[in-house]
Structure 1
Amino acid sequence: MIKLFGKGAWLLKGAVLVEDADKKSVPQLSEELRAAGLELPEKPSFDKKSAARGTIAAKIIAEHNASGTEDDYRLRFDSLASHDITYVGIIQTALASGMKKFPVPYVMTNCHNSLCAVGGTINEDDHLFGLSAAKKFGGEFVPAHLAVIHSYVREMMSGCGRMILGSDSHTRYGALGTMGVGEGGPELVKQLVGRTYDLPRADVAAVYLTGAPKPGVGPQDVALAIIGAVFKNGFVKNKVMEFVGPGVSKLPVDFRCGVDVMTTETACWSSVWRTDEKVEEYFNIHGRPDAYKRLDPDDAAWYDAAIVVELDKIKPMVALPFHPSCVYTIDELSANPHEILKKVEEDARRKLENPELDLGLTEKIDENGKIHVDQGIIAGCSGGTFDNVVAAAQIMKGRSTGSGEFALSIYPGSQPAMLALTNNGSIADLIEAGAVVKTAFCGPCFGAGDTPANRGFSIRHTTRNFPNREGSKPGEGQISSVALMDARSIAATAANGGVLTSAERYGELLHEMPYSFCGDIYKKKVFHGYGKGDDDVELIYGPNIKPWPKVWPLAENLLLMMASVITDPVTTTDELIPSGETSSLRSNPIKLAQFALSRKDPLYVKRAKEAEQLDIARREAVEKGKPLPCEVKKLFEIAGVSGAAGETMIGSLIFAVKPGDGSAREQAASSQKVLGGQANIAEEYATKRYRSNLINWGMIPFIADKGDRDKFETEQWVFIPGIRKAVAGGEDKVEAQLIGKDGAKKKITLAMPGLSEDDRAVILAGCLMNHYANE
């Protein structure tokens, strides 16, 4: 079904993938091509370095790279995108960094806090701020309920050969020939003030598709199969996934988009697909024919890795709690429900560090071995596409969701999609079957809508099923579970009375329906202001919109409390700063920070504040020329701090094995910084975007040896003398001391690999805003 080529592969004529082609003679390769009805490219050199420039990704990147070298990228994006839990902070940061106008098209959508259900007026206050910013700086503003961020960008901003940077991890438009990159807010700030997005060359992995999906198999099934094959082994981490091969043209564009948006869950950096007549038709339907051009790799293109996906062998899939990579076929789960669900529950108890945790999953199995679910959701950028909702309606037509515990909710991704689905009868068929159809909203994907009952089991065509991602609060005795499935199998389950069912059972009912798009909806409601900024417009600040607190530059030495030690294999950004109800506080850094690690380590904030208060006391004593407070003096004596008190900053840090999987939200780092956080220690970082967020907030992304894990414990102190000198001098490691609660000391080496000159300048300044202010 899926094969991995870790040593790279050649793609010849866009049709034949050859592993280790350099080990084969030209006649052998020629014979393979002739067998496929093709001829060898003229004068093939098979030089890997030059052939690597022939990938679609390499050619797009070259057009956006201002570095002058293909080994390092300094990228300028064609447009930017944010939603209403990120754009306020981004604009506030950009203003503090000297922004006067939006230099590129910047769309602000309102699809996360659009219900305005929690927090009083503060959500709509954010929306008014966004609209005033669009008017003042020349932006594009999409009102609430009109479209989820990625649906809108696909429909209105994508284009073949373009690059788009978004402050959401699922910024993926590769199926439309557009390389999307999801990052934390500070990376968008860099673009807004005319800087570049910098990183070393990214490897490109071919995703070679063959065959065509069987009836009943949808995009989420293909995506989950790929994620299951590549996430845990890090096969495509920080790479570009480039979809090629004959199977691409067998997929409708919506299907491709549904697979593409889920590539984020592989930990890849970006994605892109070859384009064809179906993509051309898509742009024509959207009234943007100029956005299309044919994208193909060169006749002989070299890929650093390759994944072969046999579409015709993929079965309907399910990703069980608590990660999209926890995949099984639905048939496999249905055949072994007790064994598999028991394992999931045991894994959950270990992950959530709660031996008493009871998900209640095995209780969902009836006497006949059938699994009963409580809720089905089809929503957002992955589930709420036109084709997915059409397929669900075809399965549900003339059937019923029933009047018991099971409930089905559908959220089309945009109002134009809603109108098209209404006009072709799909919405009517769903409503008549008992489904509830709602407006465009991302809530079910991050815990702000349709939270199941305690110990409930929800199946969702959304992007993630991390712990608490559905809105439960285990710390308060609430827990529920989400499994990811394709819209087709969710509809099949609904049609079968809530019994988990593969859509293959209803495959004969599924057929494509003509896609239509009404752009007048956006013309009437979206504020289009690019290039029309008005300096006289005043920004509208609600009472919850607060500026970033003062951030201090890096001190000569750091003395940091270990405020949390997390030994899970992977730590998500949802665990670092919970999603859900906290989203309403995203425009208030101080209030939001109180929720940092609240579900993973409830004592983290208390510990971080204790360290922060010690530094406040130290700083006040230094500024007033007074002796250090007794508790600070004692701490310095225990640690062996020498020199002036003004040279050593007290703060906090966390250790996590592999932090940062999941969302791009910068608040996973900034909330630590607001509480006095100065660093993370990890064995590796799950994503580039989380490491970038740390750096942009002046936090040092240390790496520790795996053998040092047992040395870390909460409430110990980490003394790092000479850190400023080391960062400024280009050092890639420092010597530190661990000081236990009993005063015992251990030496440790902390690495700082891969810090660029710009990274170091930001860390020295204390954060990106300070760095720009200094300039």
Structure 2
Amino acid sequence: MVKLYDGGVYLVNGTEIVEDNHDAEAILKQKMGDGVPSKAEAAKNTIAYNILREHNTSGNMDKLKIKFDKLTSHDITFVGIIQTARASGLEKFPIPYVLTNCHNSLCAVGGTINEDDHMFGLTCAKKYGGIYVPPHQAVIHQFAREMLAGGGKMILGSDSHTRYGALGTMAMGEGGPELVKQLLSKTYDINMPGVVAIYLDGEPMKGVGPQDVALAIIGAVFENGYVKNKVMEFVGPGVEKLSADFRIGVDVMTTETTCLSSIWRTDDDKIRDFYDIHGRSEDYKALNPGAVTYYDGMVYVNLSEIRPMIAMPFHPSNTYTIDELNANLMDILDDVEKKAKVSLGGAVEYSLKDKVHNGKLYVEQGIIAGCAGGGFENICAAADILKGSNIGADAFTLSVYPASTPIYVELARNGRLADLMAAGAIVKTAFCGPCFGAGDTPANNALSIRHSTRNFPNREGSKLQNGQISSVALMDARSIAATAANKGYLTAATDVDVDFSNPKYYFDSSIYANRVFDSKGVANPDQEIQFGPNIKDWPEMAPLAENMVLKVVSEIHDPVTTTDELIPSGETSSYRSNPLGLAEFALSRKDPAYVGRAKEVQKAEKAREAGNCPCEAFDELKPVWDEIKKAYPDMNSENTCIGSTIFAVKPGDGSAREQAASCQKVLGGWANIANEYATKRYRSNLINWGMLPFIIDKGELPFVNGDYLFIPNVKQAVKDKAKEMKAYVVGDGLKEITLKMDELTDDERTIILKGCLINYYRDSSEE
């Protein structure tokens, strides 16, 4: 079904695979004659390389400085981004910037705060020359597919699922500060990433959908990091067997592999047709790898062998075929329970075995939603399966969220909307809530099957800290519909008798023309920004001092820590325009004591910054301070910053949202310490908020929660590009340890020295 190659491969004429071994040169000469390029030259024939080259401004393809063509954000990220950019000197959006409103679309318990954010966005689009998409019109990524993507272009979005590779657009999801850099006409600085071919062969059988293919790939590559921080390039004869919607559904889920970005070969048949349908024929571009192309690795996917898949709680990589699950039900549920003890920390009792009746697994809820599930073809296929059936009058419920109003309208016009509603489904407006825990939260102990993006703990909306636990398994819309038709009994779509109608899609451009505000890039400096009482500026942040004292205030030993565990999604989203308010939720699901511990340490730093004695503000610090001064008598409150840090084995999987880092900074965090960082975007968020991304070797931890660390000459070490620096665990004496740090760019070092990105730009403008 899915095979990973051990090393690099050559792809000849887009179809023939030649492994990079001692026979490779001879095989290539036999196929190509004397015109065989070197490995280095063949690596330049990837689609990814050529797009990156066209957008690189450094003149050095090893050290990229990328300028994107367009930007996109939604309403739990754009307020913070624009506030940061305003504080850094923003005058006008230099490139098209789309502000969508698909996360905080519902009313909030906090009163007007969601709509206040929307009005902030609208007035900023007018003032700075942007595009504003009102609530319920489209989820961020569907609007980008319909209206922004273009062949050979690059788009940066402040959402981790910013993936438009199927349409020939290299798109990346990053934390807000990276968008701020683009808004200030700066660049996105990375080393040239590796490129891995995703070779598609065969053709999916009837009933297999894009989520099935995506989960099969995620299950094969996530844990081993095969594509981590690399570009996934989809090639092979199987690509042309897939519709544009099918490719889009696979592409959006590449985020869950921890890759950097994705790109697909495009064709005149399916992808040109997509652009024609959406009235943007000029944005199509044929993209293909060269005659001989070298890839750093290859994932071979036989589409014909893919079966309906399910990702069990609590990660998209916890994958099985539905047939395998049903055949080995109790054994697999045992394994899920073991993994749950790690994910949930034993906070609640968790079991899915009560879902088994007469040897069959029953679920209580189905959701087809968002940028992954809400596509036209997915919903039409689900309607075909459900037509003439019903979901029953028991506990099982089904909700369907078309990804945009144009899709919704076409479903109404072609009758599929009526078929779904007649079967008992509730069809709702374009909204991302089911993906992050806002709306459709299941009952306690319930199991939800969803064609959405993630199934992390509590991401469906339950609150572990309140003793609530429900969970999500990811599936394709087709198998969710088959399960719904069977009143909640888990069923693969390949097990139902259905003729898929595959209706043609008609895009109504007037829907957006009538409702979306588009400045056409013209700014209006006289426009006043409309604020709400929950929209707050970022607090002042101090620059890095010569030395650093850190208290470890949280210690997390889960194999992977998600951004949802660092800052919960769901009910917190309405506070993401309020840095201090949101920070109160930091680590609340994983370590409820974290905020209080961090604030205690922060008292000392605030006193220090005010010119007062830090030890008087925080008595616990005094013996630590005295112990350090025995070995470093020149250490004092003027040259030593004081803050908190957390340890996590592998933090940062999941969402791109910067608040996973900024909340720690707002609470006085100066660093993270990890064995490795799950994603490039989380590490970048730390850096952009002035926090040091330390690494320590795997093995026995040299400190525990509550310990103090002293890092002498940390400022100089950052200036000197040190990969390792001496530090001490402070107790009865100083115990030396080594902290490491991967490569930083010159700008990243300066950002850390200045204390955060805002300081960096503000100080640069003053200079």
**Which category describes the TM-score, using the shorter chain as reference length?**
over 0.9
Counterparts of 2:282 and 2:694, CA distance in 1: 46
Q: Deviations over 1:705-738 (max 9, x none)?
A: 113x422311110111110111112222111011
Pairing of 1:690-709 with structure 2 (within 5 A): 690-707=682-699, 709=700
TM-score (normalised: structure 2)? 0.97
Counterparts of 1:630 and 1:468, CA distance in 2: 37
Pairing of 1:162-241 with structure 2 (within 5 A): 162-241=153-232
Which residue, out of 496, 519, 523, partners 1:506?
496
Q: Deviations over 1:606-654 (max 9, x none)?
A: 1100100122223334499x98876544331033353232111111001
Is 1:382 matched up with 2:372? yes
Alignment check: 8 A CA contact 1:621 1:627 kept: no
Counterparts of 1:630 and 1:609, CA distance in 2: 14
Which residue, out of 741, 744, 747, partners 1:758?
747
Is 1:311 matched up with 2:300? no
Q: CA deviation at 1:499?
A: 0.2
Counterparts of 1:278 and 1:233, CA distance in 2: 33
Pairing of 1:198-597 with structure 2 (within 5 A): 198-276=189-267, 277-354=269-346, 357-367=348-358, 369-506=359-496, 508-597=498-587
Is 1:18 matched up with 2:10? no
Counterparts of 1:370 and 1:469, CA distance in 2: 26
| Corresponding position of 1:74 | 65
Is 1:634 matched up with 2:623? yes
Is 1:84 matched up with 2:69? no
Counterparts of 2:305 and 2:569, CA distance in 1: 36
Counterparts of 1:2 and 1:601, CA distance in 2: 38
Counterparts of 1:628 and 1:527, CA distance in 2: 51
Alignment check: 8 A CA contact 1:22 1:46 kept: no
Counterparts of 1:471 and 1:489, CA distance in 2: 23
Counterparts of 2:698 and 2:658, CA distance in 1: 26
Q: What SS does the aligned partner of 1:483 have?
A: strand
Alignment check: 8 A CA contact 1:102 1:139 kept: yes
Q: CA deviation at 1:129?
A: 0.2
Q: CA deviation at 1:506?
A: 2.4
* C-alpha spacing 1:679/1:630, structure 2 compared with 1 (3 Å): closer
Pairing of 1:3-14 with structure 2 (within 5 A): 3-14=3-14
Q: CA deviation at 1:446?
A: 0.3
Counterparts of 2:733 and 2:264, CA distance in 1: 56
TM-score (normalised: structure 1)? 0.96
* C-alpha spacing 1:386/1:633, structure 2 compared with 1 (3 Å): same
Alignment check: 8 A CA contact 1:7 1:304 kept: yes
Alignment check: 8 A CA contact 2:398 2:484 kept: yes
Q: What SS does the aligned partner of 1:428 have?
A: helix
Alignment check: 8 A CA contact 1:618 1:629 kept: no
Q: What SS does the aligned partner of 1:161 have?
A: coil
Counterparts of 2:114 and 2:616, CA distance in 1: 46
Which residue, out of 598, 606, 619, partners 1:616?
606
The one-letter amino acid of 1:767's match is C
* C-alpha spacing 1:137/1:623, structure 2 compared with 1 (3 Å): farther
Q: What SS does the aligned partner of 1:587 have?
A: coil
Which residue, out of 143, 168, 182, partners 1:152?
143
| Corresponding position of 1:37 | none
Alignment check: 8 A CA contact 1:64 1:76 kept: yes
Q: Deviations over 1:391-432 (max 9, x none)?
A: 000000000010100000000000000011111111110000
Counterparts of 2:291 and 2:648, CA distance in 1: 44
* C-alpha spacing 1:598/1:224, structure 2 compared with 1 (3 Å): same
Which residue, out of 677, 682, 687, partners 2:679?
687
Alignment check: 8 A CA contact 2:158 2:174 kept: yes
The one-letter amino acid of 2:758's match is M
Stretches of structure 2 that go unaligned for 5 or more consecutive residues are none
Q: CA deviation at 1:251?
A: 0.2
Percent identity among equivalent residues? 59
Q: Deviations over 1:252-296 (max 9, x none)?
A: 000000000000000000000000021001100100000001100
Q: What SS does the aligned partner of 2:377 have?
A: helix
Q: Deviations over 1:197-243 (max 9, x none)?
A: 00001000000000000001000000000000000000000000000
Which residue, out of 643, 646, 649, partners 1:654?
646
The one-letter amino acid of 1:3's match is K
Q: CA deviation at 1:493?
A: 0.0
The one-letter amino acid of 2:381's match is A
Alignment check: 8 A CA contact 2:370 2:402 kept: yes
Counterparts of 2:543 and 2:478, CA distance in 1: 53
Alignment check: 8 A CA contact 1:417 1:517 kept: yes
Alignment check: 8 A CA contact 2:536 2:577 kept: yes
Q: How many pairs align?
A: 760
The one-letter amino acid of 1:268's match is C
Q: CA deviation at 1:46?
A: 3.6
Alignment check: 8 A CA contact 2:333 2:352 kept: yes
Q: CA deviation at 1:44?
A: 2.8
User: How large is the RMSD of aligned CA atoms in angstroms?
Assistant: 1.5
Counterparts of 1:645 and 1:361, CA distance in 2: 54
The one-letter amino acid of 2:371's match is C
* C-alpha spacing 1:399/1:298, structure 2 compared with 1 (3 Å): same
Q: CA deviation at 1:318?
A: 0.1
Q: What SS does the aligned partner of 1:710 have?
A: coil
Alignment check: 8 A CA contact 2:157 2:171 kept: yes
Which residue, out of 750, 753, 756, partners 1:767?
756
Counterparts of 1:745 and 1:332, CA distance in 2: 54
Q: CA deviation at 1:5?
A: 1.2
Q: CA deviation at 1:352?
A: 1.7
Alignment check: 8 A CA contact 2:624 2:708 kept: no
Counterparts of 1:630 and 1:449, CA distance in 2: 45
Counterparts of 2:250 and 2:22, CA distance in 1: 31
Counterparts of 1:423 and 1:627, CA distance in 2: 70
The one-letter amino acid of 1:322's match is F
Q: CA deviation at 1:359?
A: 2.7
Q: CA deviation at 1:22?
A: 5.5
| Corresponding position of 1:161 | 152
Q: Deviations over 1:441-470 (max 9, x none)?
A: 000000011000000000000000000100
Is 1:57 matched up with 2:48? yes
Alignment check: 8 A CA contact 1:158 1:291 kept: yes
Q: What SS does the aligned partner of 1:653 have?
A: strand
* C-alpha spacing 1:406/1:731, structure 2 compared with 1 (3 Å): same
- Pick which of 635-644 and 407-416 moved more: 635-644
Q: What SS does the aligned partner of 2:595 have?
A: helix
The one-letter amino acid of 1:554's match is L
